[in-house]
């Protein structure tokens, strides 16, 4: 199903916001028109609704809108609690308050219409997602003509805010993305990714960074970190006070980390097998040789967790078991429930991508960034349209949002393999896949696991992250550990122990096997909420599996692997085309 273009229906939406008679076509689900994209979507997927349900909705809508209009005529201000419309500029202007209230009413009934649709759960989720995109795009806060805050600033600045807003918009058009942060405030290697270290190995896929010790003694077994290749690694090493890398080094770990190359035209044929064999497995081999340890603690974040788990399964098929422990942060191994991301993945869309990349190519980073921004459009798109363009503000300096805009490409063949075999067909956990010439059996990974999920994660639902407990290290469940953190996919992970914000949930009891959701919900029902960062829990887990303490080595690398350049290295600084 194609998602509608919100701008194509903007004019119709704006006229309907304050005129209930214009909604007749929506409730009748008339043939596809620009004014009725819901009908178009339903027509495309063959969905239907019960006429009596739609008639009930229509009557309720007209009743509620009539009451809203009567209140306005009587001088009674509508109650608007949505944070987009709570400023004095909105609350003090009767017409603006009415526009906001009618918009919220229309939005509520649009979502109610979706609830009446009779179709498959996946198609219904796609319709709901597309309708929500329209709703968010058509907020009166997004238009100068209906945003009293922007109008007020226009008057106060004598037009300067509009001039600055247009300049901001043109600058962003040249950059190819909306500015979420003051990008001049940050530079990788200057005030981001500053944990001291050296690049000790590189190939066409990645650089391997070895970080300098910050303690006189270290755990005997090093820690190898595998970040996602869909983003740049420095989300794990932002600034010293919120760097997971630095924290791990401060806890006495010798940390090695993969810095993935930002793919260019030379990598258009690179496959998932290459990322596993020439990426993760090669990094394991080099780390073993430099450290002199055959067993390593390993960590994978998001897609990096899927990669490192696949690599360990490939090595297990070769009768090699290099992991003393495995940490997975917000990672899919079971793709049965991929949450809202499933709206982008079906047979038609994957087949189109496979056709697009049949001879190789690159998936542009800007397209990937747009997809992820669409999952939270009010926070990552419209908030900045209002602030940067309508009001002429400059975005504040925010390291995490700077990283969010620093996108990476992906090789087309690797991207297509990943979509089909994981998101679409969920083959990774079945034992039916071959990677790097070996059958992938995740149950063959013989290492205790620390699994982290974020409770509000919109990319990896925490219940899906939890399911890895039932896949890895079978028969030794008591050695595994699951921790659930507050907040989302990124903010939940980067919950600095120094700032000690938010909270997390722990439960050492192993739930009885049932359905995935029952297991996860059973675990949560018996869990205890603990204030602060989950990082110390993870540090204790690493120390348990780190071996004895030994004197820290002063020099990075060894005779074979000499330092190439200082961390963070040049790969992470390359920009996506």
Can you give the CATH number for the domain in which 296 is found?
A: 3.40.50.1820
Q: Is residue 28 part of a domain?
A: yes
Residue 14 has a pLDDT of: 42
Residue 38 has a pLDDT of: 60
Q: Is residue 209 part of a domain?
A: yes
Q: Does residue 236 sit in the same domain as residue 312? A: yes
**500's torsion region: left (phi>0), alpha (psi -120 to 50) or beta?**
left
Q: Is residue 514 part of a domain?
A: no
Q: Is residue 545 part of a domain?
A: yes
- What is the DSSP pairing of strand 206-211 with strand 255-260? antiparallel
Q: Is residue 388 part of a domain?
A: no
Residue 55 has a pLDDT of: 83
Q: Does residue 202 sit in the same domain as residue 124? A: no
Parts of the chain with a pLDDT under 70:
1-48, 477, 510-518
With H, G, I as helix, E, B as strand and everything else as coil, classify residue 279.
helix
The catalytic residues are: 302
User: Which of 426, 451, 444, 419 has its CA nearest to residue 311?
Assistant: 444
Q: Which helix (H) or strand (E) holds 278?
A: none
Q: Does residue 222 sit in the same domain as residue 128? A: no
Report the domain count for the chain. 2
Q: Does residue 94 sit in the same domain as residue 239? A: no
Q: Does residue 137 sit in the same domain as residue 240? A: no
Q: Does residue 324 sit in the same domain as residue 221? A: yes
Strands (E), 335-485: 362-363, 410-411, 434-435, 438-439, 449-454, 481-485
Q: What is the CA radius of gyration of the chain?
A: 26
Show which of 148, 163, 178 is a domain's final residue.
148
Residue 513 has a pLDDT of: 59
Residue 16 has a pLDDT of: 45
Q: Does residue 118 sit in the same domain as residue 251? A: no
Q: Which residues contact 133 (CB under 8 A, 6 or more apart)?
A: 3, 4, 6, 374, 377
Show which of 130, 148, 166 is a domain's final residue.
148
Q: Is residue 162 part of a domain?
A: no
Residue 113 has a pLDDT of: 85
Q: Does residue 208 sit in the same domain as residue 340? A: yes
Query: Is residue 239 within 8 Å of 191, Cβ to Cβ?
Result: yes
Determine the Cα–Cα distance for residues 367 and 415; give it in Å rounded to an integer.
13
497-517 in b/e form (b: 16+ CB < 10 A) is beeeebbbbebeeebeeeebe
Determine the Cα–Cα distance for residues 112 and 233; give it in Å rounded to an integer.
41
Determine the Cα–Cα distance for residues 193 and 207; give it in Å rounded to an integer.
14
Residue 283 has a pLDDT of: 98
Give the range of the structural domain holding residue 431, as residue numbers without chain letter.
197-361+409-493+531-573
Q: What is the pTM of this model?
A: 0.90
User: From the CB of residue 329, how many other CB atoms can be counted at a distance below 10 Å?
Assistant: 28
Q: Is residue 175 part of a domain?
A: no
Q: Does residue 216 sit in the same domain as residue 84? A: no
Q: Does residue 134 sit in the same domain as residue 246? A: no
Q: Does residue 205 sit in the same domain as residue 133? A: no
Q: Is residue 171 part of a domain?
A: no
Q: Does residue 215 sit in the same domain as residue 127? A: no
Burial class (CB in 10 A: 0-12, 13-18, 19+), 120: exposed
> What are 548's two structure tokens?
């004895």
């Amino acid at each position: 199903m194609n998602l509608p273009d919100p701008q194509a229906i903007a004019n119709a939406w704006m006229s309907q916001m304050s005129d209930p008679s214009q909604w007749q076509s929506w409730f009748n689900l008339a043939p596809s028109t620009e004014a009725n994209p819901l009908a178009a979507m339903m027509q495309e997927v063959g969905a239907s609704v019960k006429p009596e349900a739609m008639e009930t909705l229509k009557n309720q809508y007209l009743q509620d809108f009539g009451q809203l209009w009567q209140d306005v005529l009587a001088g009674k201000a509508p109650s608007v609690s949505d944070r987009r419309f709570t400023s004095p500029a909105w609350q003090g202007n009767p017409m603006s308050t009415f526009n906001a209230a009618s918009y919220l009413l229309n939005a509520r009934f649009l979502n109610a219409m979706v609830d009446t649709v009779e179709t498959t759960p996946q198609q219904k989720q796609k319709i709901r997602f597309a309708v929500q995109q329209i709703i968010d795009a058509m907020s009166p806060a997004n238009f100068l003509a209906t945003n009293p805050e922007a109008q007020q600033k226009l008057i106060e600045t004598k037009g300067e805010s509009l001039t600055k807003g247009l300049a901001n918009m043109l600058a962003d058009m040249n950059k190819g993305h909306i500015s979420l942060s003051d990008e001049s405030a940050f530079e990788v290697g200057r005030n981001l990714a500053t944990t001291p270290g050296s690049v000790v190995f590189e190939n066409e896929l990645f650089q391997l960074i070895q970080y300098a010790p910050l303690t006189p003694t270290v755990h005997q077994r090093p820690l190898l970190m595998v970040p996602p290749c869909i983003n740049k690694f420095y989300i794990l090493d932002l600034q010293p006070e919120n760097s997971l890398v630095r924290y791990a080094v401060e806890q006495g770990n010798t940390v090695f980390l993969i810095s993935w190359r930002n793919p260019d035209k030379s990598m258009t044929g690179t496959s998932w097998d290459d990322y596993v064999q020439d990426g993760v497995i090669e990094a394991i081999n080099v780390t073993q040789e430099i450290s002199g340890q055959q067993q390593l603690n390993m960590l994978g974040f998001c897609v990096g967790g899927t990669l490192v788990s696949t690599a360990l399964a490939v090595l297990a098929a070769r009768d090699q078991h290099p992991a003393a422990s495995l940490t997975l942060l917000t990672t899919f191994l079971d793709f049965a429930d991929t949450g809202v991301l499933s709206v982008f993945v079906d047979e038609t869309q994957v087949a189109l991508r496979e056709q697009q990349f049949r001879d190789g190519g690159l998936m542009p980073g800007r397209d990937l960034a747009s997809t992820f921004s669409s999952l939270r459009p009010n926070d990552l798109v419209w908030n900045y349209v209002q602030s940067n363009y309508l009001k002429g503000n400059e975005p504040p300096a925010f390291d995490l949002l700077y990283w969010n805009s620093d996108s990476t490409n992906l090789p087309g063949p690797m991207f297509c393999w990943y979509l089909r075999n994981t998101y679409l067909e969920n083959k990774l956990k079945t034992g039916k896949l071959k990677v790097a010439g070996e059958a992938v059996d995740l149950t063959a990974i013989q290492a205790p696991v620390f699994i982290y999920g974020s409770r509000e994660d919109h990319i990896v639902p925490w219940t899906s992250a939890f399911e890895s407990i039932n896949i890895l290290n079978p028969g030794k469940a008591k050695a595994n550990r699951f921790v659930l953190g507050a907040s989302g996919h990124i903010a939940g992970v980067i919950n600095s122990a120094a700032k000690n914000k938010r909270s997390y949930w722990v439960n050492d009891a192993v739930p009885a096997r049932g359905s995935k959701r029952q297991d996860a919900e059973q675990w949560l029902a018996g869990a205890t909420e603990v204030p602060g960062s989950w990082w110390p829990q993870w540090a204790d887990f690493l120390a348990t599996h780190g071996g004895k303490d030994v004197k820290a080595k002063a020099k990075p690398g060894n005779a074979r692997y000499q330092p190439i350049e200082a961390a963070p290295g040049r790969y992470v600084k390359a920009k996506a085309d």
